[in-house]
Amino acid sequence: MFYDSSEFKNLEAGLKLSWMQQQLHTQNIANIETPGYKAKNLVFHKILSDKTNNTLSNKISASVKQDETLSSRNDGNNVDIEKESLALYKSYVQYTALLNKVNEKFDQYSYVLNSDFK
């Protein structure tokens, strides 16, 4: 079934990671006036993992990393509103595209299940 397929699991993982990106960028924007706040980024890691049939597959994981670049502001905050807004929009577009792909798959299954074959 579709839920058990690697395609669905990849789409699901992509949706989760895009959602996490949106949350981080929103948090960074919300803290634009917080003295000493350092922007956070989502860093992706590719991992080669062994499967039971001894083949290798690529998996992606992510971790949150604090941006340690120097701030041009006196209060030590290094959030760049333009950079964060653009990154937030990019992650929104990625999330929407992945969600549309999932919806297309469900529409295909719905069409097949609801068709009258004679």
Q: How many domains does the chain have?
A: 1
The pTM of this model reads 0.74
d(CA 2, CA 103): 12
Top-confidence residue, 58 or 15: 15
Assign 70 to helix, strand or coil: coil
Of 14, 60, 21, the C-alpha closest to 41 is 21
Residue 5 DSSP code: S
Q: Which domain holds residue 57?
A: 2-114
In the prediction, which pLDDT does 45 show? Answer: 65
Work out the percent of the chain whose per-residue pLDDT is above 90.
Answer: 41
Output the six-digit token pair for 89: 């929009």
Cα–Cα distances (Å) from 90 to 6, 29, 82, in that order, read 25, 15, 12
pLDDT at 56 over 50: no
For residue 71, the 8-state DSSP code is P
